[in-house]
Amino acid sequence: MGNPATTIHLSAPDLALRWRVTVGHLANERSAGRGPAYLKLGGRVVYRLADVEDYEERSRIAGSAA
């Protein structure tokens, strides 16, 4: 893990914009136990950028040669 002072966090609206989904969709995913790890800080949900990128990589599906 990196230095906590340099850790980048995304808010739920930031992640929703990144993935082009709604904040409600992210809330549903959290409720269902899906999606990237998140933190609850002062009542706010935030996602560490490193966790988001790891989740994206694990969700990657390689295309097949046609």
Going from N- to C-terminal start, the domains of the chain cover 4-58
Helices (H), the chain: 12-19, 23-31, 49-58
Give this prediction's pTM: 0.84
pLDDT at 1 over 60: no
Among 2-11, 12-21, 53-62, where is mean pLDDT lowest? Answer: 2-11
Arithmetic mean of pLDDT, 2-9: 82
CATH 3.40.50 fits 4-58, yes or no: no
Q: Residue 56 and residue 60: Cα distance in Å, rounded?
A: 6
DSSP secondary structure code for residue 9 in this structure? E
